[in-house]
Structure 1
Amino acid sequence: MKVAHLNAYDGNGGAGRACLRLNDALNAAGLQSEVLVNYKFGADPSIKSLNAGLLPKGFTAFGILLERFVSSMYSKKVKIPFSVPVWGKDLSAEALLKDADLIHLHWVNHAFLRPRDLKALQKLNKPIAWTFHDSNAFTGGCHVRYTCDHFENECGNCPVLKERGPRDLSHRIWKAKRSAYQKLDFHVVAPSTWMAASVKRSKLLRTAEIEVIPNTLDTEVFKPVEKSLAKQQAGLNPDSFIMLSGFMPSKKDLHKGTPFLLEALEILAGSTDVDRSRIELIVFGNRDEKNVPDFPVKTTFLGTISDDRKLAAYYSAADAFLTPSLEDNLPNTVMESLACGTPVVAFTTGGIPDMVQHKENGYLAQYRSSQDFAAGIEWVYAHSAPMALNAEARRTVEDKFSGPIIAHRHIELYQQMLENYRSKRAR
């Protein structure tokens, strides 16, 4: 079986990493799986790019920047990503796709596949799977919905847009997607039960075929190292309680919940049951230099870590991973932390409860409660059997999210899709 994956980027962002990890797992399971990206950042020769050469790559970069500029012109200055599909590519003549038995779509925004380009894929007469890494595929433009329920109808009156109304830009984009989906036969893959439920709520895709299959990761890269040793190797005090968090762009950022983390750490630092001199926060990922918050505990910023083995070393060194995100599908960081034997403290939101079992391998705090988030950190801090807690975190990933398990589930879906497709064509 030959499978061709389409993603905007090669490992840049959560969807890209999830796509590449699935591709590796499928190849290890014996499939012929390849990835085709719109813009290639890395140098892996096995990943195919639509832009070989400096000029085509520059042209694609211009399209990506144009889409982002147009999107910013229409949307308010809020931390809710919104995409206006103004640029794209018709891939119906692409040789890699023609040669494949099945096409698997991932994140296709940023001047890659507009609704009309998606519709053109039907010319290839191939079964199509589509993993939804965020909500954009079934909304009128936004990638994160929070409490907005307009996607349950036909969007319009979009709270993200500067000019909103019943027939605003979000409604027009919604209609373009409906027109494309009516011509495109595809099977939705939802990485979390939350995402599957969201799709079923949408007017655009509530009747779509959906399979819940989580993302995966390399458990030989993301694996536990004994805590004190890992701390020493990372240059950290072995006697300190190390908290790790990722992607801390700004104290104003709502999506990643930074304000709630700050409040929780304030509460933690003031607790009489916590030795403030023993607690330390380390943060990896991008950050907004102009809006870096003041943390109430000792904090070290690591910057972006692109090497998975180095990242895994920090996960192993941490005693708890903190993710105050307010909406997330199936965040890679949570799975990576658990795989390294590090419990997770998070809000009860999105697909996180698919991975974190409350007081078994981490702590699920009440949504938007800084007080309960602080209680979760303190629960890990004071845990009577931390080694057992760490072991349970690792076991969760081995049992539910390892490469062989997730590859097998995808292969079963692919086989079913191919059988159904052949049956339809035989009629």
Structure 2
Amino acid sequence: MIDSNYSNKCMWQINSYNFASTGNIMIGISEVARARGWKVYTSCPAARTMYQHKLKDHIYIGSILSRSIHRLISNYTGIHGIGSYFATKRFLSKVERTKPKVIHLHNLHGSYIHLPLLFRFIKSHPDIQVVWTLHDCWAFTGNCPHFIMLDCEQWKTQCRQCAYEGYPKGRIDQTSKMYKFKKRWFTGCRNLTIVTPSKWLANLTKQSFLSEYPVTVIYNGINTEIFSPGYPDIRNKYGIEMSKFIILGVSFSWGYRKGLDVFLKLASLLPNEFQIILVGISEEQKSDLPGNMITIPKTNNLEELAAIYSSADVFLNPTREDNFPTVNLEALACGVPVLTFDTGGSPEAINQNTGMIVNENNLSEVLQSLKTHNFKKSDCITRGREFAAEKKYLEYINLYNDLLREKG
């Protein structure tokens, strides 16, 4: 139900999902904002997976049919964000009726909203403050969400043919056109503020065509009530000797980008007193891993995951391409120091008392750090609690209020 009479502190949030990582951030911000007197509407595309989540004041954009047609357009033309024209017009008419003070954008990729219409609306309503959280690099590239592993700098001037596969990849490579379209669509807003979850991404944004906008950093947060120490040790459950030093890795999609190869090399080099545990390994991958590694399937049980973190001696995150991985925060909050490559925003989670940063692909540095690390559990817990989700969501509310005050 749209309340057209509510215009005091009304906000809309738009994202490609209403669940998972970015969806949970959108919902978390909404709950904290409502508790502080805001009227909040959240929006995402219509899909069967989205309908499973019953949310307050949640408005779907278009229908399953309109999104399917939008995806077909994207796939066959290679041009993304030009479908769902009428669905977007209907959606924006709902937004306008509520006279919002703030529109908060999250992920806009996913073939569900007509991007030229959306940004035409934003540019024609300079009284509405717009906050856009970039969860990856997609907003200022022709196609890809990340380019570090490709060692590509085309995004600084003009993207051309893209070597990145499937994000989304159309049947025709229109990367060059998409770069020009995005630059035209996304620039020229008088009322837009960009938020990035890491200083690393903020620095990249300031080098892109989005550099005309103010950029602020608000780190992602975690549930520190769940991710905390005090869970039973899992060593007995998995038959691990109490004297062994546990090296833990957690990912929901293992591969070279997440550093699976690093764990494989370590498994062949480390002496018997070390035990590697990997969470999130698929059944197909499990058969290719050495027998001295313990693998645990992906789990949606956060208490179980927290117990696994709490039992580890060190959390190893050899990611080669990440914005600001929350797995680092979860480990810290459970009292576990973090060892990570100096890539992306991953090092920003730790300080000198809570972890180690090594050069990318330097296995000898990893081995040396594993054998010499000495960190206090209490320091890790304190650091992890700095990223409590509600604290981070409050930073967004403070940002909205600051923007409205500046507008006068």
When the two structures are superposed, what TM-score results if normalisation uses the length of structure 2? 0.81
Partner in structure 2 of residue 8 of structure 1: 16
Shift of 1:10: 2.1
Q: 2:360 aligns with which of 367, 390, 396?
A: 367
Partner in structure 1 of residue 30 of structure 2: 23
What is the CA deviation profile of residues 333-379 of structure 1, one whole-angstrom value per residue up to 9, with x for unaligned ones? 11111112122121011111211224x21221111222222333333
Aligned letter for 1:284? Answer: V
Aligned letter for 2:163? Answer: P
Please, what is the CA RMSD of the aligned residues? 3.2
**Secondary structure at the counterpart of residue 37 of structure 1:** strand
> 1 CA distance for matches of 2:97 and 2:259?
39
Q: 2:401 aligns with which of 415, 420, 423?
A: 415
> 2 CA distance for matches of 1:11 and 1:264?
35
Structure 2 residue 275 is the aligned partner of structure 1 residue 280: yes
**CA 1:201 to 1:287, structure 2 compared with 1: closer, same or farther past 3 Å?**
farther
Ranges in structure 2 where 5+ consecutive residues have no aligned partner: 1-8, 167-172
Shift of 1:128: 0.8
Aligned letter for 1:230? Answer: D
Aligned letter for 2:365? Answer: D
Partner in structure 2 of residue 320 of structure 1: 314
Q: 2:306–2:334: 8 Å Cα contact kept in structure 1?
A: yes
What is the CA deviation profile of residues 251-281 of structure 1, one whole-angstrom value per residue up to 9, with x for unaligned ones? xx332222233223333x2xxxx4x1x4333
Q: 1:131 aligns with which of 133, 140, 144?
A: 133
Shift of 1:297: 2.8
> 1 CA distance for matches of 2:35 and 2:308?
27
Give % identity. 22
**CA 1:216 to 1:161, structure 2 compared with 1: closer, same or farther past 3 Å?**
closer
Structure 2 residue 227 is the aligned partner of structure 1 residue 217: no
Partner in structure 1 of residue 6 of structure 2: none
**CA 1:336 to 1:160, structure 2 compared with 1: closer, same or farther past 3 Å?**
same
> 2 CA distance for matches of 1:111 and 1:21?
24
Q: 1:200 aligns with which of 188, 206, 219?
A: 206
Q: 2:339–2:358: 8 Å Cα contact kept in structure 1?
A: yes
Structure 2 residue 60 is the aligned partner of structure 1 residue 50: yes
Q: 2:61–2:113: 8 Å Cα contact kept in structure 1?
A: no
Q: 2:278–2:293: 8 Å Cα contact kept in structure 1?
A: no
Aligned letter for 1:196? Answer: A
Matched residue count: 382
- Taking the TM superposition and a 5 Å limit, the aligned residue runs for 1:332-411 are 332-358=326-352, 360-380=353-373, 383=374, 388=376, 390-398=377-385, 400-411=386-397
Aligned letter for 2:160? Answer: G
What is the CA deviation profile of residues 287-344 of structure 1, one whole-angstrom value per residue up to 9, with x for unaligned ones? 372686423632222x222233332222222222222111111112111111121221
What is the CA deviation profile of residues 120-144 of structure 1, one whole-angstrom value per residue up to 9, with x for unaligned ones? 4415552110111100011111001
What is the CA deviation profile of residues 212-261 of structure 1, one whole-angstrom value per residue up to 9, with x for unaligned ones? 111112211221126xx3326865644433332222645xx332222233
Partner in structure 1 of residue 42 of structure 2: 35
Partner in structure 2 of residue 231 of structure 1: 234
What is the CA deviation profile of residues 60-91 of structure 1, one whole-angstrom value per residue up to 9, with x for unaligned ones? 663586478559xx7xxxxxxxx944544523
What is the CA deviation profile of residues 2-37 of structure 1, one whole-angstrom value per residue up to 9, with x for unaligned ones? 33221111222x323333343344445554444322
**Secondary structure at the counterpart of residue 418 of structure 1:** helix
Partner in structure 1 of residue 176 of structure 2: 171
**CA 1:161 to 1:16, structure 2 compared with 1: closer, same or farther past 3 Å?**
closer
**CA 1:405 to 1:287, structure 2 compared with 1: closer, same or farther past 3 Å?**
same
**CA 1:31 to 1:150, structure 2 compared with 1: closer, same or farther past 3 Å?**
same
Q: 1:21–1:218: 8 Å Cα contact kept in structure 2?
A: no
**Secondary structure at the counterpart of residue 50 of structure 1:** strand
